[in-house]
């Protein structure tokens, strides 16, 4: 049975590659061939299941010549077709970048955002500056994909655009910027990321927290310490969690200070962070916290945190 499947796939590959003649075809003929192969590559029909990958490989084998035709397919409403375009462009790789970069000037924002997506997956540094130019695009989805692409490419040259996006008016863009800061290892972003811990968009807050954990620990702890007095309670509460995950002596000292705060919610966050940082209670935090806490709800949260670390061992 396995041998039969192998022969079926080999036959499909031979048939598909046979559609491509050795001579360079005329533009119209090339487009027709790409369309024929693309139908197979993007088909969800069972009969084409074993031919999807060979068809994508056949289109990708055309290299840069296929890119303009693939870009036109970015207007599709089909998620399967959109993914197929992305996968083929990934296979073409850096050879696809020049045409993709030129297409960033298009008026159709939907196409531009998908081009940014493709460039991010290709990860060619030649695309960094062109992508930076669309990081202020009027369509927020373009900004989102552009900033995300800069993070995926991982070139520090894109840092200024990513830092600027941390203050974008759209939460999803701020989230992508926070993620990109971590991917780029932007040490200069620590203070801004600390500020994003108080963002009103959950995704941005949590992405900032994750990225802070990848930065220089000492710098991060100092930034969070300075942020504890912020009037934004979301910031200080989430900062407690990050400090607990860092678990340095300085971080624990800050948490102990917050554990006696006049704000019961802050005490709860600091206490649970301390317990998470010391799951075996080597420092004796549990007794101290339970003996000094008067708010019944905070006590319940402390007890719940103790049970959670015990269940996780």
Q: Spell out the domain ranges in the chain.
A: 28-122, 129-215, 232-313
CA distances 253 to 183, 212, 239, 258, Å, are 29, 19, 13, 9
Low-confidence ranges of the chain (pLDDT < 70): 1-27, 311-313
Tokens of 130: 């062109």
Question: CA separation (Å) from 51 to 1, 48, 59, 203?
Answer: 18, 5, 12, 38
End-to-end Cα spacing for the chain: 46
Who contacts 300 (Cβ-Cβ below 8 Å, separation ≥6)? none
Three-class secondary structure of residue 177 per DSSP: helix
Helix 140-153 vs helix 109-122: angle between axes, to the nearest 10 degrees? 10
What distance in Å separates the CA atoms of residue 79 and residue 41, rounded to the nearest whole number? Answer: 13
What DSSP letter does each residue of 253-296 carry, written as one string? Answer: HHHHHHTT-S-HHHHHHHHHHHHHH-TT-TT-HHHHHHHH---H
Distance between CA 42 and CA 55 in Å, rounded?
Answer: 9
Q: How many helices (H) and strands (E) does the chain have?
A: 19, 0
The closest of 50, 103, 44 to 72, measured between CA atoms, is 103
Q: What is the pLDDT of residues 248-268, one digit of tens each?
A: 999 999 999 999 999 999 999
Is 111 within 8 Å of 74 (Cβ atoms)? yes
Is 120 within 8 Å of 130 (Cβ atoms)?
no
**Residue 63: which region, alpha, beta or left (left: phi > 0; alpha: psi -120 to 50)?**
left
C-alpha to C-alpha distance for 163 and 267, rounded to whole angstroms = 32
Contact at 8 Å (CB) between 188 and 177? no
Q: Would you identify the CATH topology of the domain 129-215?
A: 1.25.10
Tell how far CA 181 is from the center of its chain: 10
């Amino acid at each position: 049975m396995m041998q039969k499947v192998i022969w079926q796939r080999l036959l499909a590959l031979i048939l598909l590659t046979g559609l491509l003649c050795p001579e360079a075809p005329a533009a119209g003929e090339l487009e027709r061939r790409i369309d024929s192969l693309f139908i197979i590559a993007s088909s969800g029909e069972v009969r084409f299941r074993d031919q999807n990958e060979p068809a994508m490989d056949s289109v990708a084998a055309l290299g840069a010549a296929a890119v303009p035709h693939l870009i036109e397919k970015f207007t599709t409403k089909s998620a399967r077709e959109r993914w197929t375009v992305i996968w083929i462009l990934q296979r073409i790789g850096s050879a696809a970048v020049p045409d993709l970069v030129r297409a960033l000037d298009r008026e159709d924002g939907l196409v531009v955002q998908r081009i940014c997506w493709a460039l991010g997956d290709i990860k060619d540094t030649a695309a960094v500056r062109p992508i930076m130019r669309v990081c202020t695009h009027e369509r927020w989805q373009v900004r989102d994909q552009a900033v995300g692409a800069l993070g995926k490419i991982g070139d520090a040259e894109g840092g200024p655009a990513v830092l600027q996006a941390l203050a974008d008016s759209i939460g999803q863009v701020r989230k992508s910027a926070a993620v990109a800061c971590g991917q780029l290892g932007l040490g200069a972003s620590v203070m801004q990321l600390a500020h994003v811990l108080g963002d009103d968009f959950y995704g941005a807050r949590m992405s900032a927290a994750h990225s802070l954990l990848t930065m220089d620990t000492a710098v991060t702890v100092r930034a969070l310490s300075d942020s504890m007095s912020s009037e934004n309670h979301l910031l200080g509460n989430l900062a407690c969690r990050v400090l607990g995950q860092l678990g340095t002596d300085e971080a624990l000292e800050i948490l102990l200070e917050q554990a006696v705060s006049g704000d019961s919610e802050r005490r709860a966050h600091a206490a649970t962070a301390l317990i998470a940082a010391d799951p075996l209670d080597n420092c004796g935090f549990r007794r101290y916290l339970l003996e000094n806490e008067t708010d019944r709800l905070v006590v319940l949260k402390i007890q719940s945190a103790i049970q959670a670390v015990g269940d996780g061992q």
